[in-house]
Structure 1
Amino acid sequence: MDYFIGALKKYADFTGRARRKEYWMFMLIYLIIQVVLSVLGLNLVLMVLGLGLLVPSLSIGARRLHDTGRSGWWQLIYLVPLIGIIVMIVFLAQDSHDENDYGVNPKAGVPA
């Protein structure tokens, strides 16, 4: 839950880098919340939540792409049906690069 709250604290911060775990834990918790609200039939709440978490989702996605050495603008590839989602999953699942234009490696100093 700390990863989800941490992403919300960086609500519109499109700078820096996000580790793989931070990104995927945010998405997992977001997916669980969506499934629970959908099962409960709270579609209006689900739509409001989706709109409210649109910017944090984009910002953590941009930070994750920065960690792989890519620009956050790569998220526009989601607009390409099917191929865009596959390409983004590959990009987002890749390991962190060493220090790059977007900052130092967030894994630096963290024991594996």
Structure 2
Amino acid sequence: MIEWYKKVVFENYANFRGRARRSEYWYFRLASTIIFLLFVVLGVIIYAATDNGPLALGLAYGLLMLYALGTMVPSLAVSVRRMHDIGKSGWTILVAMIPLVGPIWILVLLFTEGDSGENYYGNDPKNEIEEINEIGNVELQ
């Protein structure tokens, strides 16, 4: 999970081209959720440990907002690459702004398996990993 997070945040920070597998997208989301929850727990601990609760809560909230701003571009980029993996335009993400139906449809798309083989947006990332593993196994023998 940490490797996927580093890949999305540091290596593909603003890469809107290509494709992202389901695991890349969901591991990034899982890691982001865990970090978010850590900030919430930190805020509660600081709030409980200090006499100036609102100031401590404001500090924790400020750190949370800095994290959200720092991961906004990678989050959008991995979402666009995920749409590319199923053969949809990155602009499809905007459907999520349609009340009630939009987010549900986007969630279904995010769980959909990607196109096998090459599509308009590039090679299948699942096949690329399998090819690398096969090359590694041949060299080891």
- TM-score scaled by structure 2? 0.75
Counterpart of 2:82 in structure 1 is: 64
For residues 120 and 27 of structure 2, the distance between their equivalents in structure 1, rounded to whole angstroms, comes to 25
* CA shift digits 1:24-49 (9 cap, x unpaired): 00000000100110122111110011
Amino acid of the residue matched to residue 25 of structure 2? Y
Paired with 2:99 and 2:31, the residues of 1 have a C-alpha distance of 25
Of all paired residues, the percent bearing the same amino acid is 42
Output the CA distance in 1 between the equivalents of 2:67 and 2:100. Answer: 24
CA drift of 1:79 comes to 1.4
2:38 equivalent in structure 1: 36
- CA displacement 1:58-107 (0-9 Å, x = unmatched): 00000011000001101111212222211111001100102110011111
What RMSD in Å do the two structures reach over aligned CA positions? 1.2
TM-score (norm 1): 0.93
Partner of 2:69: 51
Runs of 4 or more off by more than 4 Å in structure 1?
none
| Length, aligned pairs only | 111
**When you count helix as a share of all residues, which structure comes out higher?**
2
The separation in 1 between residues aligned to 2:62 and 2:99, in whole angstroms, is 26
Which structure 2 segments of 5+ residues have no match?
Answer: 44-59, 134-141
Structure number, greater radius of gyration: 2
Gap regions ≥5 residues in structure 1: none
